[in-house]
Structure 1
Amino acid sequence: MEFLIEGIRAVTWQQLLMYVIGILLIWLAIKKDYEPALLLPMGFGAILVNLPFSGVIDQTLQGGIESHGIIQWLFDVGIEASEAMPLLLFIGIGAMIDFGPLLASPSMFLFGAAAQFGIFAAILLAAFLGFSITDAASIGIIGAADGPTAILVSQVLKSKYVGAIAVAAYSYMALVPIVQPFAIKLVTTKKERGIHMEYSPRSVSKTIRIAFPIAVTIIVGFIAPQSVALVGFLMFGNLIRECGVLGTMSDTAQNQLANLVTLLLGITISFSMRAEQFVTVETLMIMVIGLFAFVMDTIGGVLLAKFLNLFRKNKFNPMIGGAGISAFPMSSRVVQKMALEEDPSNILIMHAAGANVSGQIASVIAGGMVINLVTNFL
C-alpha cells in the first residue's frame, strides 16, 4: 500500500500548478482552436514531465531503478544536440509559403523588417529587468512571432528558459487576433484604417520564383551567416514548392513532415516545462515581456507605414505594416478583417499577405543576427 501512494506523496504544489497549466493549454487548443498542433502536445507533455516517477525524463524511479526517459532523449537529440526539429519544421513552413505577393510588390519587405522592432525592444526590457545577455536575447526573440525561431535561438544561446519562451511564443502567436487589433488601434485613427489601396496584380514568372529562395539563401549567407540554417531550410522548402517537379515531395513537406515534426516538437519542448524550472517569477516576467514584444512588433510596422505616407501620394493603409510580423497567415487575415470592419469594400488581403510573408523571412534573419551579436559580444 505504501508503494502505491509514494507517487502521490512526492507531488509538490509546483507540479500541481503545472498540471493546471497543462490542462489550460489543452483547453485552449481544443476549445479555442489556438495553435492546437503545438499547444495540445505541449500541454499534455507538461503533465507528463511533472508526474513523479513517470519515467519520461531521466530520474530514479521507485525501487531505485534508473530511468532514461523518452521525452528527455528527444530533447537531447532533436533540440539540444542538433536543433534538428525546429530546422526540419522550417522545410514544411517554406513549402507552405507563397512568396508571390511579396515578389509582386517588393516594397512590402520594408514592413517585415520594421515589424522585428519588438525583438530588440524586448531584449532591452529583459536586460533592464536583470536577465543575463543570453537570456535577454532569447526572451527578446519571442518578438520574432515565430515559434521554431524562438526555440532555436534560445537553445543555441543555452537559455535556461526555453520552455517559458516556447509557451510565450506560441501562446501569443495564437492570440494574434486579440493582440494585434488592440496594438493597431493604439497608433492609428479610424480614417487611417479606412485607407483604400489599389491592387494591380503582376504576374511573377516561374524563373523568379525559383531564383528567389536561392538568391535569398546566398545573400543571407554572406550578410548574416548565423541565419543560414534558419533561412536555408525555409528557402529549401520553398524551392521544393516552386520548382514544379517535386509536387509529391512538396505535399509531403507541407503536410506529413510539418505535422509530424510539429507533434514531436510540442511534446519534446515540454521537457523544459518541469515545475522546478517553470514555476518561477522569471516565467511570469517572460510572459509579460513576450506580450510587450508582440505589441511593439505591430506598432513598429504600423509606424513605418505612417512615416512613409509622409512622402507618398498614394498612401499605405498603415495596418498592413502590422501584418509584417511572422505569424503567417493569421496577421494578414486580422488586417483584412479590420479593414472590412471600417469599410466593407476595402480589400487589403494581398498587400497584407506580401508584408506577412516578408515577416517570415525577416524574423529568421533577425534570429540569426541576434545569435551573431550575442556570441560576438560574449
Structure 2
Amino acid sequence: MDILLNFIHSGAVGNFTFGNLIMLVVGCVFIWLAITKDYEPLLLVPIGFGVLVGNIPFSEGMNIGVYEGGSVLSILYQGVSQGFYPPLIFLGIGAMTDFSSMLSNPRLILLGAAAQAGIFITFFGSVLLGFSNEHAAAIGIIGGADGPTAIFLSSKLAPEYLGPIAIAAYSYMALVPVIQPPIIKLLTSREERLIRMKPSKPVSKRLKIIFPIVAFMVTAFIAPGSITLLGMMFFGNVLKESGVTERLANTARNALIDIVTILLGFTVGTSTDATRFLTPDSIKIFALGAGSFCVATACGIIFAKLMNVFCKDKINPIIGAAGVSAVPDSARVCQNVGAHEDPNNFLIMHAMAPNVAGVIGSAVAAGIFLSTFSG
C-alpha cells in the first residue's frame, strides 16, 4: 500500500492542478487549429504537443522536466534559452527569401519600417504597466510577429518571461489570417482596396548578390545587436543567390530549418508548465502582444495611405499590413483580401516587399534594444 501511495503521489494524479488542465486544453486547441484551420501547422503542431508534454505533472527529482538540469528536455531547451535556435532559423529564412520584389520597388521598404512602430509603442506601454526596460523591450518585439527574433531577444533580456513571450509571438504569427483582415477592412475603403499596382521590374543577378552583403554591413553598423540574426539571414541569402552553393542553400532552407523548427516549437511548448506560465504577468504579456501586433498592422496600412498623398503611382494600402514579419503569411493575407474585392488583382509579389523588409526591421529593432539595454 505504501508503494502504491508513493506511486500515486509522485505521478500525474498526485501533482495535477487546475492550471495543468487549462494548459492541456490550450495545447489541444493549438493542435486543432493547425490541423483543421491550417493555421501555421509547422509551428502549432510542435508547440501544441509540447504544451501537452510540459503539463503532465510529476514530482521533482525525476530528472525528466525541461527545468531540471541534465534532463533530455533541458538540454534541448538550451537552444531556446541560450538563443542559438533563432539564428539557425534565420539562416534558413535567408536561403529561401527572394529580395527581388523589394529591390524592384524600394519605396515599399518604408512600409516594413513603418510597421515596426508597433514594437516601440508597445515598449513604452509595457514600461507604463510596470515592466522594466529590458522586459518591455522583449515584450515589444512580439508586435513584429517574428517568433525567432522574440525568442532571441527575450533569452538575452528577459529569460524569466521567455515562455510567455515565445508562445505569444508564435500564437499571433499563426493567427495572422484571423487578426489582420478586419483591421485592413476597417482602415481602408473599397476604392483603395481595388488599387492595382504596376508590375515589378526585373532585378539583375548581380544586384541580388550585392544586396545582402551591403545590407548586412549597413544594418550591422546601425544596430550591432542584430549581427547574429541578420548575419545568418543575409549569409543564407548569399548561399541562395550566388549560384555556386546551391547544395548548402538547399540544406539550409529544407533539412536544417525543418529540424530546428521541430526542436524549437516542441521545447517552447514544454516550457509552459502551468505553475510558471499562468501568472498575471503572462496575461499582461499576451494582451500587450496582441495590442502590439494590431498597432503594427495598422501603422503599415496608415503609412501606405500617407504615401499615396505624395506619390503619383498609388500603393494599394492593403500591402501595408504585410510590414509585420510573419513571412509569407501576411503577404498571403494581403493577396486574399485584395482578391476578395478583385479576383484579378495580384498583390502577393508587391506585399512580399514590405514583408521581407519587416523581417529586417524587427531584427534591427531587436538589435537596437539589445545594444541599449544589455550589460
Query: What TM-score, normalized by structure 2, do the two folds share?
Result: 0.93
**Structure 2 portions without partners, runs of 5+:** none
Whole-Å separation in 2 of the counterparts to 1:56 and 1:319: 48
Deviation track 1:281-301 (CA, whole Å, cap 9, x = no partner) reads 222222121111111111111
Deviation track 1:131-153 (CA, whole Å, cap 9, x = no partner) reads 22221111111011111001001
**In the TM superposition, what are the counterparts of 1:149-298 in structure 2 within 5 Å?**
149-199=149-199, 201-298=200-297
User: Displacement, 1:205?
Assistant: 1.5
1:44–1:267: 8 Å Cα contact kept in structure 2?
A: yes
2:301–2:319: 8 Å Cα contact kept in structure 1?
A: yes
- Structure 1 counterpart of 2:31, from 26, 36, 41: 26
User: Displacement, 1:336?
Assistant: 1.4
1:57–1:68: 8 Å Cα contact kept in structure 2?
A: no
Q: Does 1:48 align with 2:49?
A: no
Which amino acid letter does the alignment assign opposite residue 41 of structure 2? P
2:331–2:352: 8 Å Cα contact kept in structure 1?
A: yes
Q: Do the aligned partners of residues 55 and 107 (structure 1) sit closer, same or farther apart at CA in structure 2, a change above 3 Å counting?
A: same
User: Displacement, 1:58?
Assistant: 6.4
Whole-Å separation in 1 of the counterparts to 2:131 and 2:270: 22
DSSP-derived class of the 2:171 partner = helix
DSSP-derived class of the 2:271 partner = helix
- Structure 2 counterpart of 1:69, from 61, 71, 74: 71
Q: Do the aligned partners of residues 283 and 158 (structure 1) sit closer, same or farther apart at CA in structure 2, a change above 3 Å counting?
A: closer
DSSP-derived class of the 1:202 partner = coil
Whole-Å separation in 1 of the counterparts to 2:183 and 2:124: 20
- For 2:95, the equivalent position in structure 1 comes to 95
Deviation track 1:108-165 (CA, whole Å, cap 9, x = no partner) reads 1101100111111211222222222221111111011111001001111034211111
1:92–1:255: 8 Å Cα contact kept in structure 2?
A: yes
Whole-Å separation in 2 of the counterparts to 1:48 and 1:336: 37
User: Displacement, 1:271?
Assistant: 4.5
User: Displacement, 1:21?
Assistant: 1.9
- For 1:11, the equivalent position in structure 2 comes to 16
DSSP-derived class of the 1:323 partner = helix
Which amino acid letter does the alignment assign opposite residue 274 of structure 2? A
Whole-Å separation in 1 of the counterparts to 2:129 and 2:41: 32
1:87–1:230: 8 Å Cα contact kept in structure 2?
A: yes
Identical aligned pairs, as a percentage?
45
- For 1:80, the equivalent position in structure 2 comes to 81
Whole-Å separation in 2 of the counterparts to 1:247 and 1:130: 49
Q: Do the aligned partners of residues 344 and 373 (structure 1) sit closer, same or farther apart at CA in structure 2, a change above 3 Å counting?
A: same
User: Displacement, 1:46?
Assistant: 2.0
Whole-Å separation in 2 of the counterparts to 1:23 and 1:194: 39
Q: Do the aligned partners of residues 182 and 58 (structure 1) sit closer, same or farther apart at CA in structure 2, a change above 3 Å counting?
A: closer
Which amino acid letter does the alignment assign opposite residue 96 of structure 1? M
Count of residues in correspondence between the two structures: 367
More displaced, 349-358 or 236-245? 349-358
Which amino acid letter does the alignment assign opposite residue 91 of structure 1? L
User: Displacement, 1:31?
Assistant: 2.3
2:167–2:269: 8 Å Cα contact kept in structure 1?
A: no
Whole-Å separation in 1 of the counterparts to 2:233 and 2:15: 44
2:91–2:233: 8 Å Cα contact kept in structure 1?
A: yes
Which amino acid letter does the alignment assign opposite residue 131 of structure 1? F
RMSD: 1.8
**Structure 1 portions without partners, runs of 5+:** 61-66
More displaced, 271-280 or 259-268? 271-280
Whole-Å separation in 1 of the counterparts to 2:160 and 2:275: 11
Q: Do the aligned partners of residues 271 and 133 (structure 1) sit closer, same or farther apart at CA in structure 2, a change above 3 Å counting?
A: farther
